[in-house]
Amino acid sequence: MRVKIHHEGTPILISLLAILLIINAPLWVWVRPFVWAVTSTVISTVFYLLVVNFFRSPRRYLTGTRKDVVVSSADGTVVALEETFEDEYLHCRCIQLSVFMSVFNVHANWFPVDGEVVYVKHHPGRFMAAYLPKSSTENERSTVVIRTPEGQLVLMRQIAGAMARRIVTYARPGDEASIEDHMGFIKFGSRVDLYLPLGTETLVNIGDKTTGGITEVARLHPTANNA
């Protein structure tokens, strides 16, 4: 099966391949016994394949009805599911659902709902471990708000982690949001928070694994609102 690489990873993979070749080639020419060259090449190959896996760019399609469906924006593990106050844009109590991405996960981010992008803002910040609760408000992050066709607001926040030093957000105000499209990308270990209206039915629990663009994590209620 052909592996598609996300364009965010192409320059990194090319540079990394060149570095590994520069490191390993002299070992095969000048170092004896060959066991050192073999060992280094095996380690380099495994490391390179892990980075390739990180930058995979799968196309995913949600089957079945999409009305009121909220999908996970990321591959990873649910690490937070609680009621909280969102004070950047919504200014109300919401359900926070957070997914942590390890370095072994694909790091493309999907729109969680269909609708229209109404707000995008990038915030500089710290680089604490992304699984810590404080990372939602203190780490480098990017916030995107989508208004569903039914008028409900869903806030998605990309959060950098201890290793993630770059957040890429493609969404712009006025863009059409689709569950099947990439909203952005975070490089090397991070987290995505969703803020959903109270009354939303959650379909996952803490510790559950999610697949971005596929796993239904919640279902919006017609009566749920952001008031």
Active site residues: 190
Length of the chain: 227
Q: Token pair for residue 188?
A: 């090397």
Reduce the DSSP state of residue 41 to 3 states and report it: helix
Nearest to 149, CA basis, from 120, 171, 170, 178? 178
Q: Starting from the edge strand earliest in sequence, which strands make up the sheet with 216-219, in order?
A: 69-71, 216-219, 201-202
Contact 159, 141 (CB under 8 A): yes
Q: Which residues contact 168 (CB under 8 A, 6 or more apart)?
A: 8, 184, 185, 186, 187
Contact 82, 200 (CB under 8 A): no
